[in-house]
Structure 1
């Protein structure tokens, strides 16, 4: 085997090769390297978006929630206790969701108000991660206070300490009845990104109960789970154990389209991986076919010296595989470096040319995330090497069929 490998290296590095053949050989290496680097970077981007979805968006969006069938839950304390007994539920809290109209002078904006328990909120959702410490302290201490999104605060020209007027309809009232005006103190502003900043506000549970006229009741129970991708099964299991009839909801129903989009793009990338590698490996076929044609006399001499047909095939398969190995190695290293430095490179490009890849007014993330995984690099490497090996079969068969007498006669 060492002799065959040595022959493959000599054929690959032969100085008698034409410049065009050397160019085709270098192109095959460059094509495989470029394909590997781009695909690893793309897969790392998808990993990054998946992490942002799991650790950022789903920290603020309810992972699992149980809503009252008749509008309110009376004994919510027992429901929280039952839910927290499940081993895959990390925490539970009561909350109230309502729609309100915010008024500031002559401006009116529709917004969503969520009432939550500040003592339980940090265990279930990460609202405190998007506000400063002073804002969170005021929110806990000030009665009738509200935290508003940055986009809404900018539209209404609000700052911490201002008074915001809300018009809220009492739950259970008859239709067309005029809503009551409530005055709340702005405890601070949270900045998350996307449409949440333009439509969401948070108040304490007691304030929400007063606004909605629920007394000591709540409208839903909100859970945080250990595995967000198992949220549908956890929601059904916990919901079946509750002593009251509830509507079962989870994030797959509200934000699942984002997760499905990420998985769809990942599937497309896997398909592109195979196609790009197939195109890149065509150059290996061209290189080996031309090498066989150029080395017919050498092949004939080797055969007359006792080299068998299967050994000739292995020599040219090893030669093509060497090109694939070089291209794969370069591509894997370049892809890993590019994937790890992608956020920094894009920030530098945005500052240099003055554009934004992702606008935080539209998306909940303002920069392209990236997370490199060795499993992705291994997958790309295996596919690249497999495609390189398959590309060598036809040229190697042609090399094995070279007739020594005819090849030497043509040379002479």
Structure 2
């Protein structure tokens, strides 16, 4: 079968056992370094994707994806919800009233955001019902001023179901100070734990009780909470709905409250990816050193090839093939091992915990107790492409050096 001269000789040089074992060692080191770099990037980016998925599902499963809020309290939220559900991006809608205040218990205080909800409708737009660890969401009854708090808040105040605490909310008044605190005694009817900072900053109460604290009618709410298909389309969806409803409504979405967190996670993933890319760059520089030493070692062979008619382009192609093969094999090995490790990283960490007897991720310290991983084939393709491109670029200078060897000079001492 016909094969180009450059590919035939380059592949043979790669397979041949060199007289200089140091060159062989450097070649193997370059291949291993490239494999480790690709493996590390795939595993680390997959773990970061897993963390982002967990944080998205937990935090954005609790906070509204989008909200349609009225300039005045809504007497009936259902027409607004019906209008919102006409948008194909909206999955579900539920009433919502939000307040900010302070929780007080035995002299200790902490800020909190309280959401007035309808327990019968909340399950359509929130995951809180699946994360109740004490009590029940259905125990929020109108007029009883029950509250469901997060696990961090309950642990900080040492609260259990049945305990009572005080909610302090600011109220605008005609007093000289302009704002006076309003206090309400609340009864803890449930505790939720989603494994995020919301466990210490969010509380839930019945919308009728929230309306009473705001001095509204029992059936009045602040707005409607929406659950959408595409989280990143939430700003456009909420704006389109408010535009159809009129100027007396305004839009809000998760990017206003949680956008900075997810922007920081995205930037962190980018920066860590760039830092890990340096490992691949170091391995590519090793390929340069390997090929330069091979060119010096094969000076006589290059001269002979030139004297029998090989062109500089063929000589250059020969060493480009040799260096590229190192990059291809190293990238493929690292890619396969990285995919296998990323798919089984949770099991690997669990095995290490069982062998060492130590918990790497404990629920008392971290928001999650396992190491999540989400392999994205787009990341794998990007990482492997970067490894192959760097390996190819690393061959250009040594191959060009080889093509410039003068036969008479190389054979002078042979």
Query: What's the TM-score bracket when you normalise by the shorter of the two chains?
Result: 0.7 to 0.9
Instruction: Report the Cα offset of residue 151 of structure 1.
Output: 1.6
The equivalent of 2:194 in structure 1 is 192
Aligned-pair CA distance for 1:316: 0.9
1:321 to 292, 299, 324: 324
Query: Which structure 2 segments of 5+ residues have no match?
Result: none
Q: Secondary structure at 1:22's aligned position in 2?
A: helix
Name the structure 1 match of 2:165.
165
Q: Counterparts of 2:18 and 2:163 in 1: how far apart (Å)?
A: 84
> Could you say which residue in structure 1 is the equivalent of 2:293?
290
Cα-to-partner distance string for 1:58-92 (whole Å, 9 max, x where unaligned)? 0101111233335x233422222211211111111
Q: CA deviation at 1:315?
A: 1.4
User: Judging changes above 3 Å, is the alpha-carbon distance between structure 1 residues 406 and 366 closer, same or farther for their aligned structure 2 residues?
Assistant: same
In 1: Cα distance, 2:357 partner to 2:133 partner? 32
* 2:144 equivalent to 1:156: no
**What is aligned with 2:401?**
398
TM-score (norm 2): 0.87
Partner of 1:308: 311
Contact 1:100/1:166 (<8 A) preserved: no
Structure 1 residues 314, 101: CA separation in 2 closer, same or farther (over 3 Å shift)?
A: closer
Shift of 1:36: 0.9
Once the two structures are TM-superposed, the CA of residue 255 in structure 1 deviates from its matched residue by 0.7
Query: Given that residues 95 and 223 in structure 2 are in contact (C-alpha distance below 8 angstroms), is that contact kept between their aligned partners in structure 1?
Result: yes
Deviations 1:176-217 (A, max 9, x none): 556343342x33211122332223221222232233332121
Distance 1:18 1:173, change over 3 A: same
Task: Name the structure 2 match of 1:218.
Answer: 221
Please name the residue that 1:33 is paired with. 35
- Helix, strand or coil for the counterpart of 2:100? strand
Partner of 1:203: 205
The alpha carbon displacement at 1:46 in A equals 3.0
Contact 1:54 1:228 in 2 (8 A): no
Determine which of 250, 264, 276 is the counterpart of 2:267. Answer: 264
SS at match of 1:123: coil
* 1:88 aligned partner: 89
Q: C-alpha deviations, 1:357-376, integer Å up to 9, x for none?
A: 68766x75455432111221
Q: What TM-score results when the alignment is normalised by the length of structure 1?
A: 0.88
- Cα deviation, residue 115, structure 1: 1.2
Change (3 A) 1:213 1:22: same
Q: CA deviation at 1:21?
A: 1.0
TM superposition shift of 1:119: 2.0
The Cα shift of 1:275 comes to 4.0
* Larger CA deviation: 241-250 vs 341-350: 341-350
Would the aligned equivalents of 2:327 and 2:388 in 1 still touch at CA under 8 Å?
Answer: yes
Q: Using a 3 Å threshold, how does the CA distance of structure 1 residues 214 and 173 change in structure 2: closer, same or farther?
A: farther
CA drift of 1:130 comes to: 0.8
User: Which residue is 2:119 aligned to?
Assistant: 118
Q: Name whichever of 241-250 and 376-385 sits farther off.
A: 241-250
The 1:395/1:199 distance shift into structure 2, 3 A limit, reads closer
Q: Which runs of 5+ in 1 are unaligned?
A: none
When structure 1 is superposed on structure 2, of 204-213 and 25-34 the one drifting more is 204-213
SS at match of 1:410: coil
Change (3 A) 1:374 1:69: same
1:337 matched to 2:340? The reply is: yes
For residues 275 and 180 of structure 1, the distance between their equivalents in structure 2, rounded to whole angstroms, comes to 57
Change (3 A) 1:181 1:55: closer
Q: CA deviation at 1:25?
A: 0.8
Paired with 2:156 and 2:263, the residues of 1 have a C-alpha distance of 33
